[in-house]
Structure 1
Amino acid sequence: MKHAIRRLSSAGLFALVLTGAAWAADEPLTADVVQTHLNYVWTLVAAFLVFFMQAGFAMVEAGFTRAKNVCNILMKNFMDFGMGALAFFFVGFGLMFGLSNGWIGTSGFMLRDFAVDGDPWVYAFFMFQVVFAATAATIVSGAVAERMKFSGYLVFSALMTAIVYPVFGSWAWGSLYKGGGWLEGLGFIDFAGSTVVHSVGGWAALAGAIVVGPRIGKYKNGKPQAIPGHSIPLAALGVLILFFGWFGFNPGSTTAGDTSIALIAVTTALAGAAGLVSTIYYTWVRFGKPDVGMTLNGCLAGLVGITAGCANVSPLSAIVIGLVAGVLVTESVVLFDKVGVDDPVGAVSVHGVCGAWGTLAAGLFNSAGFSWSVVGVQVLGIAVAFVWAFGSSFVLFRILKAVMGVRLSAEEELTGCDLSEHGLSAYPEFLFPTVIGSAGSGPNDGSEARLGAAGKLASSEV
């Protein structure tokens, strides 16, 4: 009783406002009622923060791509939520959280069978989960930026949120009914989704980048060439938005407004800060200068790395996790560039690789004590996620390639996705035509390829 009174007191006037509906219905005012209402409010506020991360992803990807492709990447980010929310409502949520047959959910599609006795919690829970699904989908857009057909991407985005993400999610996070996923049953630790959301999205992005192929001009005589994005300020703004949204992503995964969110917020902040600092100094030593773009990704790498263990590692361990993630993402970006995987925004490295590191770290730095069996389960989950997400996505991309095509023509790619796919430019006042075949092209064109058909136009940016 003393604990209940303390909880009610800490809620204060805000809690009294929350319980207005209970009073109106003549429901007794108790600590449990206050806590229930607070859980709803906290979960929905966290969901709204995660939804705002969609703007962060859009800004990061827009900044890291060339000016002639900005409208296209923005449209993809908008449609990740548009297509994703509908696909998750009709199919994905049931597959992920419905009554499980051991592998996938078999009920709860369109939220049916969940709202038992009119319990509205399913609506709050759905809102929190649908923004997670959209996050997993939007990771892919950056890796295939500047050369994938918009139509093909829309189909994959819907399939990602309807099938690829929910199936693994059902294994790791389980059902809203009795029991849970088989990985969860083994003790798999992924509190907020280093693997479930980030690695699944990252491995799907890897499959897309491989099937779609590198951008024109990315490789010259087999060596990767830098293709700078058009706006570091936009990318930096996006990272700050994502960092802010992560305080909904991780602490919100409690789905309860209680004291546990404090530690989670601290570990999240420290890991992000450590990833940021680690990348600044590592790139300073590695490349001779502190790399701005890599540092932005280093901050995100630290945040991705802590997402699995944010609730079960210490603040000091969170710093170590972030420091390692900053180094890991740098070397990963360099490696994928060398082996021919063109990832304009570093999505595979940030989300796939650092998501795997974070999941492993949740076992290595477990506050409950080190256990080889726990680490073994973590490794199993990492491997299963890769096999499922990369394998299923690779098959889906190959089918899309065979059925409708996934790659823009050379002319469309050189012109830019904005004009060729949408008929407009994000920066029309800076757009001027360049006749193909004439000397020179815009400084951000990133390609020496020419179409060889005089009179055709390609866009270049000043």
Structure 2
Amino acid sequence: MNGMSMTTPLGNSSDVLFLMLGAVMVFAMHAGFAFLEVGTVRKKNQVNAFVKILTDWSVSTVVYFLIGFPIAYGISFLKPVKQILGENQGYDITHYFFLLCFAACIPAIISGGIAERAKFWPQVTAGAVFAGLSYPLFESLIWGKNMSLLQDVFKSLGGAEFHDYAGSVVVHSIGGWLALPAVLILGPRMGRYVRGKSHPIPVSNIPFLALGSWILAVGWFGFNVMSAGHLEKISGVVAVNSLMAMVGGVLAALVASKNDPGFVHNGALAGLIAVCAGSDIMHPLAAFVTGAIASIIFVFGFHIEQEKLKIDDVLGVWPLHGIIGSWGGLAAGIFGSEALGGLGGVTFVSQLLGTVSAIVFALVNGFLIYGVLAKTVGIRLDPEAEFAGADLSIHNIGAYPEDSIR
């Protein structure tokens, strides 16, 4: 910037633009979540997937503005616009927009696990609680105003603070482990397991699934690179590490799944999820390995979940986000070390402690919230509604109305 101080009005504006562009890229990822789910569920549940994710996004926007962001960072926007703009061109409120996109990932992740048999409004309610209360509370302990409460513990026990640059654990692991209680309480879809035997339900649309993966992958560079927060802190290493982890995931899935297109496109996402935590401190080759391992975890983890454990997690969000997000937290402690070409400043012990704390936090919250909803309003469609499909049962229209008329 030709020596210009980033505290000047132009510097402030540059930071606002930088964050805003990142926010728009991550916002676009929610279209990726939608198409990934639409391509995976049956035709009779495609409209529901689109409406769910857009509604969850809208509700998350409101609750994170009013409750979540103030919990996480101690900043409220219930004041005059002049004060919101302040002297930094409204950087804080743009930061809210960017971090909202992370918070809204939580209900979007869960949506894929509970697809095809969940009631609409109870899930919207759960998403609101997670985006407005649960997620911001953990966010505050790792990135926000209450960092010292937990990070000091990790540092004293493990020798360093817990490092999660762009949310392998804070976002993805939390989302995936929150989804597991919902999937378990809901139970499998009708016909998925009959008399102990597995009857896989085929996906409806490979092109939509692939489109969802591509949209997510492109938006992910906003997710990771713009996590720098300020233009002067941008890192080319983060961009290339994200790329290398993605292709590592694709190539590993290609081999491990024997060319299965569903696994190949989810393999890209597995790599990107895993590299978020350490994308700023790993060597690019380590990022490639991290992504490849993540993809292998998903290919075999999905099979174990569905066929051995008989957990009907429609999009495999527990292994993809929960387990692989946890792997990303640990990978930062391994490949971020100077001995393996990383920048250092991390320890495996601290990464393990932070990762385990996220798992425990998510499971407690997931079982509590979904348990209460299940016992009160119920969270599963009745058999007739599930058989007819969520599109007609909830929205009174199918994805292909002309076909319905015929």
Taking structure 1 as the reference length, the TM-score comes to 0.81
Distance 1:263 1:414 in 2: 49
Provide Cα deviations, 1:28-51, integer angstroms capped at 9, x if missing partner: xx6642433222111110000000
Between 320-329 and 369-378, report the one with greater CA deviation.
Answer: 369-378
Q: Which has the higher contact order (CA 8 A, sep 6+)?
A: 2
Distance 1:356 1:170 in 2: 19
Deviation at 1:295, TM superposition (A): 1.4
Match of 2:212 among 216, 238, 244: 238
Q: What aligned pairs does 1:96-115 form with structure 2 within 5 A after superposition?
A: 96-98=72-74, 108-110=75-77, 115=84
Report the equivalent of 2:147.
Answer: 180
Is the alpha carbon distance of 1:432 and 1:294 closer, same or farther for their aligned partners in structure 2, counting shifts above 3 Å? farther
Report the equivalent of 1:341.
Answer: 311
| Paired AA for residue 136 in structure 1 | I
Residues 218 and 225, structure 1, Cα contact 8 Å, conserved in 2:
yes
Report the equivalent of 1:86.
Answer: 62
Report the equivalent of 1:47.
Answer: 23
3-state SS, counterpart of residue 155 of structure 1: helix
1:315 maps to 2:289: no
Q: What aligned pairs does 1:352-391 form with structure 2 within 5 A after superposition?
A: 352-369=322-339, 374-391=347-364
Report the equivalent of 2:264.
Answer: 295
Residues 252 and 261, structure 1, Cα contact 8 Å, conserved in 2:
no
Distance 2:129 2:28 in 1: 22
3-state SS, counterpart of residue 235 of structure 2: helix
1:36 maps to 2:3: no
Distance 1:259 1:144 in 2: 38
Report the equivalent of 1:62.
Answer: 38
The CA RMSD measured in Å over matched residues stands at 2.1
3-state SS, counterpart of residue 226 of structure 1: coil
Distance 1:409 1:432 in 2: 25
Report the equivalent of 2:236.
Answer: 262
Between 218-227 and 85-94, report the one with greater CA deviation.
Answer: 218-227
Distance 1:317 1:331 in 2: 21
Q: What aligned pairs does 1:157-172 form with structure 2 within 5 A after superposition?
A: 157-172=127-142
Match of 1:423 among 389, 392, 396: 396
Provide Cα deviations, 1:348-387, integer angstroms capped at 9, x if missing partner: 1111111000110001011444789811111111111111
Residues 303 and 322, structure 1, Cα contact 8 Å, conserved in 2:
yes
Larger radius of gyration: 1
Distance 2:401 2:252 in 1: 39
**Percent identity over the alignment?**
35
Match of 2:375 among 402, 407, 412: 402
Bigger fraction of residues in helix:
2
Deviation at 1:429, TM superposition (A): 3.0
Distance 1:316 1:429 in 2: 51
Match of 1:393 among 350, 366, 377: 366
Deviation at 1:398, TM superposition (A): 0.8
Deviation at 1:303, TM superposition (A): 0.4
Q: What aligned pairs does 1:202-213 form with structure 2 within 5 A after superposition?
A: 202-213=176-187
Is the alpha carbon distance of 1:65 and 1:183 closer, same or farther for their aligned partners in structure 2, counting shifts above 3 Å? same
Distance 1:111 1:323 in 2: 45
Report the equivalent of 2:166.
Answer: 192
Residues 164 and 393, structure 1, Cα contact 8 Å, conserved in 2:
no
1:128 maps to 2:79: no
Report the equivalent of 1:282.
Answer: 256
Distance 1:31 1:238 in 2: 36
Is the alpha carbon distance of 1:83 and 1:305 closer, same or farther for their aligned partners in structure 2, counting shifts above 3 Å? same
1:273 maps to 2:247: yes
Deviation at 1:217, TM superposition (A): 0.7
Distance 2:185 2:312 in 1: 11
3-state SS, counterpart of residue 408 of structure 1: coil
| Paired AA for residue 144 in structure 2 | G
Taking structure 2 as the reference length, the TM-score comes to 0.91
Deviation at 1:180, TM superposition (A): 2.6
3-state SS, counterpart of residue 144 of structure 2: coil
Provide Cα deviations, 1:135-158, integer angstroms capped at 9, x if missing partner: 122100010000000011111110
Query: Tell me, which stretches of 5 or more residues in structure 1 are unaligned?
Result: 9-29, 99-107, 285-289, 434-462
Deviation at 1:428, TM superposition (A): 2.3
Count of residues paired in the alignment: 391
| Paired AA for residue 132 in structure 1 | F
3-state SS, counterpart of residue 250 of structure 1: helix
Query: Tell me, which stretches of 5 or more residues in structure 2 are unaligned?
Result: 156-160
